[in-house]
Structure 1
Amino acid sequence: MSSLGLSTVAVIILLLFSAVFTMLESAMFNSSLIRIQTLSKKNFIYKLLLEHKKRPENFISAVVIGNNFVNFLISAVITNIAVIYSNKYGLSNEIVVLIATIITTLLVVIFGETIPKTIGSALPERSLGPTFSVFLPFYFILRPLAYVLSKISQFLLFVLGIKTSEKKFFESEEEVMSMIELGKKEGLIEREEEKMIYSIFEFGDTIVKDIMTPRVDIVAIDIESNLDEILDLITKSAHSRFPVYEEKIDNVIGILYVKDLLKVIAKKEKPDIKKILRAPFFVPETKRVDELFKEMQKNKIQIALVFDEYGGISGLVTIEDILEEIVGEIQDEFDIEEKPVQRLSDHAYLVSGTFNIDDFNEMFNVQLTGEEASTIGGLLLEHFGRLPNPGEEVMIENIKFIISKVRNRRIVQVKAIFIKDMKEGESDE
């Protein structure tokens, strides 16, 4: 084969290596760590790749060094070809250099950069395996040089006063959420696990008012109640701790633990309720739940009373309420499970007034929002501007809400009818 033919073959081979190195670099930056972890369980190449994906600095340096060296060789070979033609046709050195530069630039940009980089970006995980296999022998050769150059670069940056720090895997909460969504699509994260992770992120933004048991639902004991009345209330409610008040609920004087009362009764003594009360713990409605959780853990407190801006009791919150924000509803042996949503027909449902608006939106794929309300009952109170009577109705976002039950100045249950889902002439019953 002639010298020209050998040079042409050399250029083609070098361009292929340049394409492989570029594709590998692009795929490395655009690949998913979760996806590589999955593939590493089945393929040894991806197992090796996983370590470089986690700490890519030296690896990428080796790829860049190899790519630049190959591109230099391409330039040298093309210049040699140009010299052969210049001697044949009597071209000047300036023309030879210009032609060699143009040809090298076009070939490297098109075949060594643009096309492989696009493929590596579009198919990162699929590109990584083959390209890494080709590059691996070169990596073992280039690794010492890449390490030395990396240290020199770090030293020069230090001299210039530029601090380098390890890049965070996640730069923002949005990136984490994207990875969770990707993990769900890849089948690595189950639905319940996803909900729990999202709950943890929302935990820090949640305030006590969002999770507390409202004032009207508080089961409390009047200090003037006799023992039989107290025991009857304990039996009916199945709670283990009760706020105890004097005259009115806003004047809570302590918390009665059922176990403390039972200890006294077991001794066959007449209990003095005031003597066995534990000190109440008060928190504002606006306190963040994560901060409250830390305080309750530190002080071993199980129940906290919530006060509003006027100093009145607006609700109470327990450790269990806080934990349910992360893990979901916790049912114990005394809980009576009630469905917050009961299906009446294809387009009508009975909904609990305490059902969370966000959960309603997720269940029915709608976008209801309240100014301050977090429950369906609260949302309807905002729309009515008063406490409605049973049978009254209001239309919100193509959903007709009919008040079913009202008790103790709150909406207990409503009927939700999805008008847009009904066929013409169909009854809403």
Structure 2
Amino acid sequence: MCYTEKSEARAFLRTLCAESVEFSKRSWFFLMDSTIPRSLLLLLLILLGGYFAGGETALSYCNRIRMKTLAEEGDKRAKRVVAITDQFDKALVVLLIGNNVIHVAAASIATVLAIDLFKGTPLAASASVIATVVLTLAVFIFSETIPKNIARANSDKLALIISFSVLLLMKILTPIAAFFTFISDKAKSLFRKGDKNPSMTEEEFATIVDEIEDEGIIDPEESEIIKSAIEFGDGKVEEIMTPIDKTVMLPRDASMDVLKKTVMEVKYSRIPIFNGDTDHIVGIIQTSDCLWRLMSDLPVDIGAMLKKPCFARPYMTLNQLFEEMEKKRSHIAIVTDKGKTLGIVTMEDILEEIAGEINDEDESSLARPVKKGVVKA
């Protein structure tokens, strides 16, 4: 090879190397130009996924009673939260749609990024697998776990913050949300057929009452009244009745002196009257009807003052007895079984099962123990 040919060969090689370097630079800058925007977009999608997941948790865990209270006080954000929770199925569909769209878009971008980054390397064939693994971890940590934990710990605050954007999305996606809500309702109706179980048990309701009490919304006394009302229908008459040996009763033929002494000593508003023995209750007298006659030493006809008694069985529920006494406008019920008088139950006894002890000396219950010797005249 002559000198001229060698010079031309060297010049060709230099030109080829220069063009290769320039091509590499252009390729790198092109890759960088596309990688940075895609990476930023992927990061944004992951954060948006956290918004949807956290929003779902915040709206699920927020205190609806507190939100309604704030709404009644004029808080606009609370009013939006109440509007969302009142149609929570629709809100849930919108949030799930948003979350799924975000995850699909993020997966597509992550795959393209991985293919570009690993092009021409031994990992090129596994680029999509690597993208899937990395994105799954990123979504699990930054789009699910962290946002949901934060939202659960600050549910009320975050629910107020996101209320506007969620309500706006619900309006924008109304047609789509309506379609999926319809499908969801139909699916739920298939599983609800024949299901007669209550939507909420007494235990679950009592737990909710405890949580409300812990949050300071109601007082412990109010909590006890609510829980007592829940359990009220399960109670039995025999559990609260006053036994016959601790009950004040009078015979129908009681003398004026005995009647006056009994009425003045026990100060009860009503006294059962028996004929012969306590297993034969013939009526109830109201002491206010005869007190003024006794004080004036006027004759009193017990038979004329008798009011028809209300009878109950020991195994009746308190709810059944309450309805029976209310129907007959009776303040006292005589508990009997197999021809025997077992005791009495007053309306006050029933109400005390809900509201606690009632102290009213003028309307004293016959369910209080009395001294021996006062039971019968």
Task: State the Cα RMSD in Å.
Answer: 3.6
Matching residue of 1:350: none
Query: Counting helix residues as a fraction of each chain, which structure ranks higher?
Result: 2
Q: 1:54 to 1:153 in 2, by over 3 A?
A: closer
Q: Which residue of 2 aligns with 1:145?
A: 176
2:285 is matched with 256
| Counterpart-to-counterpart distance in 2, 1:154 and 1:319 | 46
> In the alignment, which residue of structure 2 is the partner of 1:31?
62
Find the counterpart in structure 1 of residue 359 from structure 2.
Answer: 331
| Structure 1 residues 37 and 13: alpha-carbon distance in aligned structure 2, compared to 1, 3 A threshold | same
- CA–CA separation in structure 2 for the residues paired with 1:72 and 1:95: 19
Q: Deviation at 1:129?
A: 3.3
Alpha-carbon distance in 1 for matches of 2:172, 2:292 = 77
Q: 1:285 aligns with which of 314, 321, 338?
A: 314
Question: What does the per-residue CA deviation read over 1:215-264, in whole Å, with 9 as the maximum and x for residues that have no partner?
Answer: 23322212232234323322222223221223332332322233554798
Alignment partners' CA distance in 2, 1:249 and 1:90: 101
Corresponding letter in the other structure for 2:88: P
Give the secondary structure class of the aligned counterpart of 2:77.
Answer: helix
Q: 1:123 to 1:258 in 2, by over 3 A?
A: same
CA contact (8 A) 1:21 1:131 kept: no
Query: Structure 1 vs Structure 2: percent identity of aligned residues?
Result: 30
Count of residue pairs brought into register by the alignment: 337
Aligned-residue offset at 1:39: 5.3
Amino acid paired to 2:151:
G
Gaps in structure 1 of 5+ consecutive residues: 338-352, 355-405, 410-429
Decide whether the 8 Å contact of 1:59 with 1:139 is kept in 2. Answer: yes
Partner residue of 2:249? 220
Deviates more, 1:121-130 or 1:183-192: 121-130
Residue identity matched to 1:247:
G
Q: Distance in 1 between matches of 2:161 and 2:285?
A: 69
Q: Distance in 2 between matches of 1:163 and 1:284?
A: 38
Please list, as runs of the form range in 1=range in 2, the aligned pairs for 1:100-179 lying within 5 A after superposition: 100-133=131-164, 135-155=166-186, 161-163=190-192, 171-179=200-208
Deviations 1:290-339 (A, max 9, x none): 111100111222221123x56432321122222222223333353799xx
Give the structure with higher Rg (CA): 2
In 2, Cα distance between the equivalents of 1:234 and 1:91? 101
Return the alpha-carbon distance in structure 1 between the equivalents of residues 240 and 126 of structure 2. 79
Structure 1 position 86, deviation (Å): 4.8
2:80 aligned with 1:51, yes or no?
no
Residues 84 and 167, structure 2, Cα contact 8 Å, conserved in 1: no
Q: Does 1:231 align with 2:263?
A: no
Q: Is 142-151 or 39-48 further displaced after alignment? A: 39-48
SS across alignment from 1:334: helix
Tell me the alpha carbon deviations over residues 331-378 of structure 1, each in whole angstroms, 9 at most, x when there is no partner: 3353799xxxxxxxxxxxxxxx97xxxxxxxxxxxxxxxxxxxxxxxx
Cα distance in 2 for partners of 1:237, 1:91 equals: 97
CA contact (8 A) 1:207 1:289 kept: yes
Deviation at 1:4, TM superposition (A): 0.9
- In structure 2, give the amino acid aligned to 1:282: F
Q: How does 1:356-367 map to 2 (within 5 A)?
A: none
> Deviation string for 1:124-147 (max 9, x for gaps)?
334333444554544432233112
> Which whole-Å CA distance do the structure 1 matches of 2:275 and 2:168 have between them?
82
Contact 1:220 1:245 in 2 (8 A): yes
3-state SS of 1:4 partner: helix
1:247–1:14 Cα change, 3 Å: same
SS at structure 1 position matched to 2:333: strand
Does the 8 A contact of 2:170 with 2:177 survive in 1?
no
Q: 1:21·1:135 contact (CA, 8 Å) conserved in 2?
A: no
Residue pair 2:273, 2:283 contacting (<8 A) in 1 also: yes
Aligned pairs for 1:182-201 within 5 A: 182-201=211-230
Query: Which amino acid counterpart does residue 82 of structure 1 have in structure 2?
Result: A
Give the corresponding residue for 2:40.
9
Whose RCO is larger (CA < 8 A, sep 6+)?
2
1:320 matches 2:348:
yes
What SS does structure 2 have at the residue aligned with 1:330? coil
**For residue 72 of structure 1, what is the aligned residue in structure 2?**
104
Q: How high is the TM-score relative to the length of structure 2?
A: 0.76
Contact 2:91-2:166 at 8 Å conserved across structures: no
